[in-house]
Amino acid sequence: MTAYDYIVVGAGSAGAIIAARLAEDPGLSVLLLEAGPRDTSPLFHIPAAMRYAYNAPRYNWNYETEPEPFMNRRRLVQPRGKVLGGSSSINGQLYLRGHPLDYEGWADAGAKGWSYAEVLPYFKRLETRVDNGSEYKGSEGAIRASVAELGPLEHAFIKAGEQAGYRLTDDVNGSQQDGFGHFPKNVAEGRRSSTAKCYLRNAPKNLHIITGAHARRVLIEDRRATGIEYEHRGGAVTATARREVVLSGGAFNSPMLLMQSGIGPAAHLRALGITVLHHLPGVGENLMDHPLTSIQAACTQPVTLYKHLNLLSQAKGTLDWLLTRKGLLANNHFDAVSFIRSKAGVKFPNLQIALFAIAVAEGSADFVQEHAFQLQISNQRPLSRGYVRLSAADPHAKPLIRFNMLEHPQDLEELVAGFHLGRELLQQPALTAFTGRELSPGADVQNDEQIAAWLRETCHSSYHPCGTCKMGIDDLAVVDPECRVRGIDGLRVADASVMPVIPSANLNCPTMMIGEKAADMIAGKAPLPPSNLPYFVDPAWETAQR
């Protein structure tokens, strides 16, 4: 049995940061456990290789939902990173903070210390923006982020937004999220900026990283976490924590590990034969995600990525990347994005519409075999809530996951509105120069009822699960605003599972921010001084949609 000051379970978007920050004190010993392997494959570092990384079973937990009752009982795949860096090593590298009012909402709901003024300094601390500077951006952080040069379609998309009467924004992560602009990404110098690469590559000697370590349970004595039991190389291992155990397994694995340890809804645990050590009814509840759909259109000009779907172009792209870290493979190819409101009376953007300069066939990972592009539309603040539960006491058993996606009528209403607004963009002069026939859903899907039916049949997950160990002060809160598990000493959860409400953003950047902020809390450091920077809210939001 080996003892450490801190044990962090999960070397993902938050956990890698927490472990690295704690280990900055040379007087502390830190154990970081990761179930997956090290990120040695080039797939983890080539931005355009993301679809291969998250489709590789070795590096993925390969979860899927139960049949979703409001989506024609379809099962939704849920790729989750099982590798050093977690999902930051396999995701789309889309680097969004969310709207300032997201975090004001967190604080107002009881997450004291998590207002926009209090989280902005941590967003800045984690990053170096290599494109251009501003007081809203970081310049000394580990994660290197940028925007790409726009191609013809991306320029047309942003111009179409302006023609439709929307604002333009210089930086969706700055003072004004509202409008059309560049899509930030945690890519720089042609490489993915994962937490493994940026925080763990030169780990100090007092940070002990063990890969291939599958956590079985948190050890609890007298309502205090004392260590972790895990599997490694076919055997059971116990490690003890002199100070704290921190769970950073993500929105599925963190609540699962709590429940496997006897912490969670008592009736559910007893039904599986698990001894209840602490009844905590909110564990696994409050599961959220952004529903995602797309409109696909043929492109009348040969400017899409389809022209690169040939061996010669891909071979050249590979050679360019190997020699110069530039070219086709040096970008994730999500370069333009917008945040808009679905209707008047919505205070801040509840829809994200992004352009992807190629089309992916419905129900498939294959690309449409012609020049085509798609507008990806997602509802940013869904009201539907789901759960994650254990299917068995066996720590290797897959979880039971249900989002209940589109259960709340407002979620479907907003997505239908987004669909109409997306079609309106395609009719603007800037995009009509490129837009041919609509490939999906096609001309037969027109009215709200038809669109809603199509969404239930085809809408899918954004792969943004969160909220299952939510932070707060109500009866279903699992952790307090310091990320401490309620009722158990020496145990914290710090990852996307603690988000009380899903932010208006892809979740990797907010999860990394949680890692930075939680690290200071765990170390007992004073929080960074709050920011006094202002942010934009449309003064006409009550009466105008744009």
Residue 101 has pLDDT above 80, yes or no: yes
Name which of 118, 116, 123, 114 is nearest 142 in CA terms.
123
**Neighbour count for residue 398 (Cβ, 10 Å):** 15
pLDDT tens-digit readout, 189-227: 999 999 999 999 999 999 999 999 999 999 999 999 999
pLDDT at 492: 99
User: Among residues of the chain, what percentage have pLDDT more than 70?
Assistant: 100
For the stretch 525-542, what's the b/e string if a residue is b when 16 or more beta carbons lie within 10 angstroms of its beta carbon?
eeebeebebebbebeebe
Taking the C-alpha atoms of residue 166 and residue 124, their distance in angstroms, rounded to an integer, is 28
For residues 358 and 339, give the distance between their C-alpha atoms in angstroms, rounded to a whole number.
21
Determine which one of 45, 182, 278, 464 is catalytic: 464
CATH architecture entry for 2-523: 3-Layer(bba) Sandwich (3.50)
Residues 6+ apart with CB under 8 A from 102: 116, 501, 503, 504, 505
- State residue 55's pLDDT score: 83
Is pLDDT of 365 > 80?
A: no
Predicted confidence (pLDDT) at residue 449 exceeds the cutoff of 90: yes
Model confidence at 39: pLDDT above 90: yes
| HSE-CB for 341 with a 13 A CA cutoff | 21
464 catalytic per annotation: yes
Residues 6 or more apart whose CB falls under 8 angstroms from that of 493 comprise: 246, 247, 248, 254, 258, 469, 478, 479, 483, 485
Candidates 186, 174, 167, 177; CA nearest to 133 is 174
Instruction: Kindly report the backbone phi and psi dihedral angles of residue 286, in degrees, each rounded to the nearest multiple of 5, phi listed first.
Output: 70, 25
pTM: 0.98
- pLDDT in the model for residue 51: 83
Say yes or no to pLDDT of 450 above 90: yes
| Distance, CA of 49 to CA of 149 (rounded, Å) | 19
Q: Reply yes or no on whether the pLDDT at 119 is more than 90.
A: yes
**What average pLDDT score do residues 152-158 get?**
98
Angle between helices 116-125 and 100-108 (to 10 degrees): 130
What is the chain's mean pLDDT, rounded? 97
Q: Is pLDDT above 80 for 364?
A: no
Q: Which residues contact 157 (CB under 8 A, 6 or more apart)?
A: 180, 336, 338, 355, 375, 425, 430, 431
pLDDT in tens, 514-536: 999 999 999 999 999 999 999 99
DSSP secondary structure code for residue 385 in this structure: -
For residue 441, whether the previous peptide bond is cis, meaning omega lies within 30 degrees of 0, is yes
Give the end-to-end CA distance of the chain in Å, rounded to a whole number. 61
**What is the pLDDT at residue 50?**
87
3-state DSSP assignment of residue 500: coil
Of the candidates 199, 186, 72, 106, which has an alpha carbon nearest to the alpha carbon of residue 138? 186
Decide: 400 and 219 in contact? Cβ < 8 Å: no
Distance CA 368, CA 297 (A): 10
Residue 285 β-bridge partners: 387
Question: Per-residue b/e over 51-62, b at no fewer than 16 CB within 10 Å?
Answer: ebbbebeebbbe
**For residue 451, what are its two tokens?**
């669109």
Residues 273-323 have pLDDT tens digits of: 999 999 999 999 999 999 999 999 999 999 999 999 999 999 999 999 999
Inform me whether the pLDDT recorded for 259 exceeds 80.
yes
* Higher per-residue pLDDT: 362 or 225: 225
Reported as a single tens digit per residue, the pLDDT across 466-493 is 999 999 999 999 999 999 999 999 999 9
Q: Are 30 and 267 in contact (CB under 8 A)?
A: no
Q: Which of 227, 243, 251 is nearest to 78 (CA)?
A: 251
Backbone angles phi and psi of 423, in degrees to 5: -65, -35
